[in-house]
Structure 1
């Protein structure tokens, strides 16, 4: 607990310094006549966007966003309208005056950052850039949640469809989506299915099913291209392993295709040992196993309920 408190204190100290240094607390951000909230909103509008999408992207309360949008409209910075193809969507776009302000905002922001970097050597700038990139990756990972969901639910179906589409592109022989696990194999007593969410959007998945007494099988560990290189696949894998322990499994196994070299490297780094084939599977080129330590952790939280959809029959499927 003491070490955690040190991390919290360091995080808050950096946050206070950085927000003050870039002028986030100033009512006239970058010397312009508006606070940071309005300036950020203008920047994010770009070439026009639905208010609903903007709200999700920035994590803003609907009422707060509406008030800011109306204030900017009154100033002649933005234009509000209804989407021509869907009258349920309200759109926001920059006016010519708004575009001029955003261009000036970008110019001033670039000048502010250049001024901050001028005091550093080239090597120090490189270190700072590397540190900020690493910080962004870790903050994104920290903000992602991994939740157990209904194996027949819409998010499970959507992530598996995306997984299958990618494998179909990567495998020389293509990929048949009927090879995916069936919902009943990763639900209830038979298994579990997890989905990773970033800002409410599904960005990864993984399943666990019973393979034999005391042995579970990990299936379809996948991360969206936009969320890779964060360590998310390892986090999903760890969640599946914890679920396996909670279900009383002594070991977990998996198979993977020969072209998925990055997956093979991850499994080896996570402590998996390559073993002989434990089942016939058309897409499998490598088979792995990991012994588990009992921790007594209870199963993950409640699943998201969903009516069961129709699902094609599955053959033995690969990870």
Structure 2
């Protein structure tokens, strides 16, 4: 599976960028503290967002912030709007330190590129972009959630808003075949939500019908991360969930303007079939026979 290749790549990168040094960028502080300074930014950042963006547990982040506070670089305060929210902000010294780190980061990047030919630089930058996209894709977490949770509501509302802009004549979900919260709650159905650094970026649902094909509903991926294969992953995980519950056939319908979705369904083995419902916004109906049905 290439595990050895990944480990070798990790070792090369951490050594080349100086992540192994206690004094990252020769600033007498390790990489973790430097990265927290960078992520706090000029406008400050609430601790919940900071934890999510850096994938740090609250205890470790608190220890990092305590060191930075003791060094006079950071202040942590409660939000004026919500006392439960704590925000980290850079002091004047913190902003100056961040500026130095920013300059030295540029210098490090230049030192990596400088020994290479122009063609090698282009190859390296292109490869870095591809690695970044794939690492981002591997960071996305997909879970079965309560469709009443805030993340599910955000995905549902984003889905409706996008369809309203892409469908001819707009979109009114009240006129479509239903996929309400009760219908997407086990055992009637389920909803998958994808999150990246704690923020919802996609969803996909199933409606079960005992003895009949299950329906795929509410497939949506945020435009910000399209191209990372999340739609295909959500569809594959829906198929696994359906198979695990004894479903043999999945069905779905879609609008002609959702060309990316149509391409995804066809590439994933869904066959176009005659209309099996009277969904007013649909132009294409698809079906797929699932393999490996649970006994």
Asked if TM exceeds 0.5, the reply is: yes
Distance 1:242 1:88, change over 3 A: closer
Matches within 5 A, 1:52-131: 52-131=48-127
**C-alpha distance in 1 between matches for 2:38 and 2:150:** 33
Give the TM-score of the pair, scaled to structure 2: 0.90
* Corresponding residue of 2:268: 270
CA distance in 2, matches of 1:42, 1:148: 34
1:159 equivalenced with 2:136 (yes/no): no
Mean Cα displacement is larger for which, 240-249 or 145-154? 145-154
Q: How does 1:119-198 map to 2 (within 5 A)?
A: 119-178=115-174, 179=176, 180-198=178-196
Number of matched pairs: 292
Pick from 30, 34, 37 the counterpart of residue 32 of structure 2.
37
Give yes or no for the alignment of 1:13 onto 2:11: no
Query: 2:198: which partner in 1?
Result: 200
Cα 1:100/1:188, change in 2 over 3 Å: closer
- The more displaced of 156-165 and 42-51 is 156-165
SS in structure 2 of the partner of residue 13 of structure 1 = helix
> Does the CA contact (< 8 Å) of 1:273 and 1:290 recur in 2?
yes
Instruction: Return closer, same or farther for 1:91/1:152 CA change in 2, 3 Å cut-off.
Output: closer
Task: Compute the RMSD of aligned alpha carbons.
Answer: 2.1
What does 1:269-308 align with in structure 2 at a 5 Å threshold?
269-296=267-294
Distance 1:101 1:152, change over 3 A: closer
Distance 1:190-1:103 versus aligned 2 partners, 3 A rule: same
Quote the Cα distance in structure 1 between the aligned partners of 2:10 and 2:142: 26
- Kindly report which structure 2 residues correspond to 1:213-228, keeping only aligned pairs within 5 A, or say none: 213-228=211-226
Q: CA deviation at 1:96?
A: 2.2
Give 3-state SS (helix, strand or coil) of 2:21's partner: coil
What is the alpha-carbon distance in structure 1 between the residues aligned to residue 243 and residue 206 of structure 2? Answer: 11
Which structure exhibits the higher relative contact order, with contacts defined as CA atoms closer than 8 Å and separated by 6 or more residues? Answer: 1
CA contact (8 A) 2:246 2:293 kept: no
1:49–1:145: structure 2 CA closer, same or farther, 3 Å change rule?
closer
Q: Alignment partner of 1:183: what SS?
A: coil
Measure how far apart 1:151 and its partner are. 4.0
Q: In the alignment, what sits opposite 1:49?
A: 45
Deviation at 1:71, TM superposition (A): 2.2
Contact 1:214 1:248 in 2 (8 A): no
Contact 1:49/1:91 (<8 A) preserved: yes
The residue matched to 1:185 in structure 2 has which SS?
coil
C-alpha displacement at 1:39, in angstroms? 0.8
1:32-51 Cα offsets, whole Å, 9 max, x none, are 12111111111111121122
Distance 1:103 1:52 in 2: 24
Distance 2:256 2:28 in 1: 58
- Which consecutive residues of structure 2, in runs of 5 or more, have no partner in the other structure? none
